[in-house]
Amino acid sequence: MPRRPCAYASLCKPGPGPIPSSKRACKVPDRSPFWSVVIPLYNKGPYIEATVASVLAQSDPDFEIVVVDDGSTDQGASLVEALPDPRIRLIRQANAGVSAARNQGIQASRGEFVAFLDGDDLYHPECLARLRALHGQFPQACVLGGREQRVAHDDMAGHRFSSLPAQLPCRIVDNLPAEFLRAGLPFSSSSVAVNRHLLASLPFAFPPGESMGEDLDLWFRLAELGPVALIDAQIAVYRVGIADSLMGSYRALELLPVWLRLEQRATEMTAASEVRRASLRLVAEMRLTLARVLVVKGMRTAAVKLWVSGWRAIVGRRWWFTVLILLSPRLAALIR
């Protein structure tokens, strides 16, 4: 992949190790920016100005902002259009979903790296600078990411970012499915960046027509092409609202296409590998989770089918507990 020398490379120690702070001031170049920050927008009018402002406040100013309005019915797009900064571009499209909006933003991007930010989330002021330093240290990484901080919607107004340490621990992940099994996804769709040329080489980035798990699908596919570089710091804020908790069970139901594609790619791997084994185990775990959701919803026949399809990959405590739920939900509740 073509790579411009990192302006912060001298601040990074070679090889594994901590990533130092970077607050070097520089002018916004006339050339294409290093970063394209893609923000999908759909009815986020009350939050979008704060979201864009968090990008404008970055210590690394070498960016453009591409906001893709996905047919919003509120004033969000007009608020973005009124912002005077020339680095902001607004693209309007008919409502087609978050995947289509992000894909449109990728196509319109000019930066070397595409960073993503949801329309109601926030960047830490050093988010892009720290990711750029991470790239300088691990130029072979296909994905750059950091952790997010989850903040309740009611607490966002008074939220203040804490200063990041001068040096941050960092690491390479070569097996994202195994990492997901161990501790969940180590980054979010608002704390991640990908080389634009790599995204352009894919048949599609985010799966069209999908709005649940669409980001996971892309991250797993990218991780199969190369390593993921991570910094152990909260570089973005994820807004948690009432809608998130209400959608929990439905989100699990709609994730299945993502796991089926992961399973298909794993079974097509020619050699047995740790990634293949972790992928199949992860899909089996998701089947068990979904089976338990279906039992709660009274859909026992569908739950049994999922349970049977997952038993070969994982026979453990969760598998047997799911059996118990299917046979006797009351008994399972007593011993849980």
Helices (H), 139-195: 176-183
Structure tokens at 29: 């170049």
Neighbouring CB atoms inside 10 A of 138's CB total 21
Average confidence (pLDDT) over 120-148: 97
pLDDT band at 314 (very low <50, low <70, confident <90, very high): low
3-class DSSP state of 249: helix
Q: What is the pLDDT of residue 31?
A: 80
pTM of the model: 0.82
Q: Which of 110, 5, 123 is nearest to 64 (CA)?
A: 110
Q: Letter for the amino acid at 293?
A: V
Lowest-confidence region among 52-56, 105-109, 237-241? 237-241
Task: pLDDT band for 310, please (50, 70, 90 cuts).
Answer: low
d(CA 55, CA 50) in angstroms, rounded, equals 9
Contact between residue 172 and residue 228 where contact means Cβ atoms under 8 Å apart: yes
Residue 35, both tokens:
């970063």
pLDDT of residue 161: 87
Residues of the chain with CATH 3.90.550.10: 9-245
Share of the chain above pLDDT 90, in %: 62
With cut-offs at 50, 70 and 90, classify the pLDDT of residue 12: very low
CATH fourth-level superfamily of 9-245: Spore Coat Polysaccharide Biosynthesis Protein SpsA; Chain A (3.90.550.10)
DSSP one-letter code for 43: S
The SS3 call for residue 76 is helix
Q: What gap in Å lies between CA 69 and CA 67, rounded to an integer?
A: 6
Q: Classify 213 in phi/psi space as left (phi over 0), alpha (psi -120 to 50) or beta.
A: left
Tokens standing for residue 1: 């992949």
From 164-168, 188-192, 330-334, the region with the lowest mean pLDDT: 330-334
* Higher pLDDT pick, 222 / 270: 222
Is 90 exceeded by the pLDDT of residue 160? Answer: no
